[in-house]
A and B are shown apart, each in its own frame.
Chain A
């Protein structure tokens, strides 16, 4: 029996070695290898210079749940528990996402010409219990993650100001932004390829 792939996208889609989808992914080999590498740079245990791994994984679990993508949500929730052994945190992350009913992308445009395309939508805020469980840094990171996931055109200087005020450095904000944006890519590749598999 051939070994299952260790590539995370292959695992989440359910791509068997030698299958038609395996052959298709193999036609874009550097995209495949570097999507995997990005995942490891962001979320593997040895990755965390700068933004702490605990925060990366909590944000990942939150973002995956916001996408309503069960395989990804289960995967990142599992990594979070494995790394932190903190089931209260894992529960807070799941609760934070469960209370959300957003459907994106929404937001406003800067000009009159595009006014007809403006759409309103919710901003995420934690309840008191979630705020206590998450702490101020993760709370700020989750507010930012929800914004960037659901209405990135609503993300402005004030959003970054809030992260700086919560104690994130510029470099940590870059890593946080890459984590949220990468997951927005990875989860869509998984969702798309699952449907292509039929």
Chain B
């Protein structure tokens, strides 16, 4: 028997970029908690993620989910030097805004605002798009993230030079690269496996 899509009759569309909290609903059937084996629990990494439809759908391939999650956590949460957390979130947001992932952008706009305390500029990036002027250093981070996001990539030595001019050391530049690259992974999953729900 062919697997089926999941219907979500009651959802409220979320058609613009926002910092508001919105949900995400899957188009394919997630696993239920009673179906989880020890390998699945390991794949979820955090037990609390069994409450998330997104992770319960991805856990169908638990080895890949576990590795994805550990990659994500180290790129964004590793506190050892490099780019401040707020700016890793800014890179994630710029990629999400450019790729058009409204859900990802909402989450990472909130994180970027919280960690930077520059909520108004984050809101301008959401409203105006990735060309918004939000200061030399942030413009360089956004421009590099956006260039890396085009397919094929337009990231060039000019972007590296602008980041160095903005006083990012090479570890911080590597953090921009990894944060932006990771959101090219995350956006594609979120955009192709479900949709936002503002209900």
Contacts and interface: CB of A to CB of B under 8 A. Distances in A.
Interface of A: 20, 24-25, 27-31, 33-35, 37-38, 41-42, 47, 50, 66-69, 102-105, 107, 109-111, 113-114, 117, 144, 147-150, 152-153, 155-157, 159-161, 164-165, 167, 169-171, 173-175, 177-178, 180-182, 184-189, 191-193, 195-196, 198
B185 A182 contact: yes
B181 to A, nearest CB: 4
A192 B5 contact: no
Residue with the highest number of chain A CB atoms closer than 10 Å, among B152, B155, B156, B184? B184
Residue with the highest number of chain B CB atoms closer than 10 Å, among A41, A50, A117? A41
Nearest to B58: A174
A24 B28 contact: no
B11 interface: no
25 contacts: A24-B171, A27-B80, A28-B175, A31-B74, A31-B75, A34-B67, A37-B67, A67-B153, A103-B152, A105-B99, A107-B100, A153-B191, A155-B192, A160-B28, A164-B5, A167-B2, A171-B61, A173-B28, A174-B28, A174-B60, A178-B68, A181-B188, A181-B189, A191-B153, A192-B181
Nearest to B129: A117
A48 B149 CA distance: 29
Nearest to A51: B61
Interface string B155-183: 11101100000000011011111101110
Residue with the highest number of chain B CB atoms closer than 10 Å, among A69, A144, A164? A164
B188 A180 contact: yes
What secondary structure prevails in chain B residues at the interface with A? helix
A20 B170 CA distance: 9
Nearest to A116: B129
B148 A196 contact: no
Nearest to A171: B60
* B: interface residue count bin: 35 or more
Given A31-B70, A155-B191, 16 more contacts: A27-B80, A31-B78, A34-B67, A35-B67, A42-B64, A69-B152, A104-B151, A105-B99, A109-B100, A152-B187, A152-B192, A160-B193, A174-B193, A181-B184, A189-B178, A193-B177
Contacts of B78: 27-28, 30-31
B189 to A, nearest CB: 5
B185 A148 contact: no
B32 interface: no
Contact of A189 (B5, B64, B177): B177
B71 to A, nearest CB: 4
A121 B26 CA distance: 26
B63 interface: yes
A198 B174 CA distance: 13
